[in-house]
Every structure is written in C-alpha cells, then in structure tokens.
Structure 1
Amino acid sequence: MLIIIKKKWFFLAIAVLFIGFSWYIFNSRAVTEAGSQTVAEKFEIHMVTSEIKSKTDDGKVIESYRWDPGTIYVPKDKKVSLTIYGVNGKEHPFIIEGTDVKGTVKKGEETVLDLHFTEEGIYRLICTAHANKDHNGPMIAYIIVD
C-alpha cells in the first residue's frame, strides 16, 4: 500500500513539474519577446507589385497589374515606412492621392517611402502608367488612416 501511495505522489509530482515547466517556458518566452521590443518610432509596411494574366475564350491575353497587398492600414500621426518591391512590370510611376508623395517603383528594386499622415481617411496609391483597364489597370492600393 505504501508503494502505491508513493507512486501516486511521484506521478503527481512529475505532472506538476511538467505543467510548471511548460508554463514557465511559454510565458517566459512571451515576456522576453515582448520585453525586448521597444515601441517603434516607425510603423513598417511592405508591399510588392504583381501581375495577373489570363486568356479569354478566343485566345486573347489579358493582364492587370496590382499593388499587393491592395489595402493597408496606417495609424494616424505615426511615422510610417512603406517599402515597395518591384516584382512585375518594368516600372510603376505613382502618386498618393491627397498628398505630395510621388515616385517610381522599378523592377528588382525597393522604393522606400517615409510617410506621416495627420488626417484620417482613405488615400489611394495610384500607378499612373496603369490607371485604367485600357492600360492593364487600374493599379490602385488603398491606404486607410485611422
């Protein structure tokens, strides 16, 4: 009988140690990771240019260019670093509607924009080379500031 009780306590002790150790590992990692991150001055967003191609039933090739992701969310009154990598298309001249921001994203290169929106709203990132379907567009991304 004494051996059975000792075995029960032994297994109970092992279970408690396992649960305690597991809790420590998962929570200490969360605390360490959260504690090692300082509140960043800049909010970073990454985007790419992409292309979609298809054929119609009569064999005509149709294509469209896009920013990916097509919608991004940006906090108001926060410095934002928007990095756009050119994957498809030779170059994409762009504007951000409602701002003075403009530039060109080139294939194989990164374009980095330092942005700071002080007004809430929806701003459109528009590729002026692909502004409508006649020019393989519209290539528009939405920047939602709130």
Structure 2
Amino acid sequence: MDNEKLIHAIERYERSWLLFALVMIVVFLIFIGYTLTGFAFYVPSAAERIDPTKVHSEGSLFANPRVEKTGDNIYTAYVVAQAFNFLPGEIRVPKGARVIFYVTSPDVQHGFYIRGTNVNVQVIPGEVGKVEHTFDEAGEYLVICNEYCGLGHQDMIGKIIVEEN
C-alpha cells in the first residue's frame, strides 16, 4: 500500500512540473506575439536575387549606388556593402522621410545596422535585402557592419544624415 501512495505522490509531482512547463511555454508564446505586434518587429528577407559578380555591372540597380526621391517624402537607397565600406558612404534625407533600403554585397557577408533604429539586415552575396525606416528625428545615424567580414571590418562605417526641413 505504501508503494502505491508513493507512486501517486510522484505522479502528482510530475503533473505539477508538467503544468508549470506548459504555462511557461504559453507565457513565452504570448511575449513573442506581443513583441512581434507591439514593437513593429519584422524579419527582413531577400527582395530579389542578383549575381554577385554583376553587382557593379552596367544595367544593374547597384551599378551606381545612390539615393532617389521616389515619392512624397519617400526615398529609395541602393546600397552596396563591400570590403570595407558602404556605397554610398553618406546618405542625406529630410526629417520625416521614409527610406526604402535595397542592400547587397558583391564579395562576402556583411551587416547593415543603423544605430539608434531597428534596422538590421544581414547582407549576403547574391541576395538583395530590403528594409524600410522612417527617420522622425534629425541627426546623424551611423551605419555599421555588424557581421565580421575581414581585416578591415572595424572601419566599415557609413552615415545617414537626417536634416531638418
């Protein structure tokens, strides 16, 4: 009889821990859902593919890295991350501008992180990363390569200057 009581006590103990684990999983899923919706989090993805050997070729969107005004306070930036700089190295937009970034690399993996924002793209050769951001505050934002890309990695910094209207 004592053995049967012990087995039931162990089952109750196991059920308690199982219930605790299930509650924690539900809580974590709720937190993830809240973060995804509440903080405007999104996962950047490849907008398209490009042959890395033809990034700078004539006719490529990235042959002349640039920023274009494409709408009312909407800008499109074509950025090339390469050893060991960003092209263009400096981007100027007015305060309140929504900028659509298309980023690619002709050589190795790089990062495209705009400090002070939630913009962070892993730049992979052969892929064009697309991400958007609205710059609501004037100032200077550093663009940093946050993926190790070689010996000059620490010097790979660009700028986005957001000017008062």
1:121 counterpart residue number:
139
Shift of 1:134: 4.8
- 1:130–1:139 CA contact under 8 A, matched in 2: no
SS at match of 2:155: coil
Q: Which amino acid aligns with 1:99?
A: T
Shift of 1:144: 0.4
TM-score (norm 1): 0.56
Which aligned pairs between 1:6-85 and structure 2 lie closer than 5 A?
A: 39-40=71-72, 42-51=74-83, 65-85=84-104
1:145 counterpart residue number:
162
Shift of 1:122: 0.5
TM-score (norm 2): 0.51
Which structure 2 segments of 5+ residues have no match? 1-69
Shift of 1:139: 0.9
1:95 counterpart residue number:
113
Q: Which amino acid aligns with 1:70?
A: G
Shift of 1:98: 1.1
Distance 2:122 2:76 in 1: 19
SS at match of 1:87: coil
1:136 counterpart residue number:
153
- Name segments (4+ residues, structure 1) moved above 6 Å: none
Distance 2:116 2:105 in 1: 23
Q: Which amino acid aligns with 2:76?
A: E
SS at match of 2:147: helix
Q: Percent identity?
A: 31
Distance 2:107 2:94 in 1: 29
Which is strand-richer, 1 or 2? 1
SS at match of 1:118: coil
Distance 1:66 1:130 in 2: 13
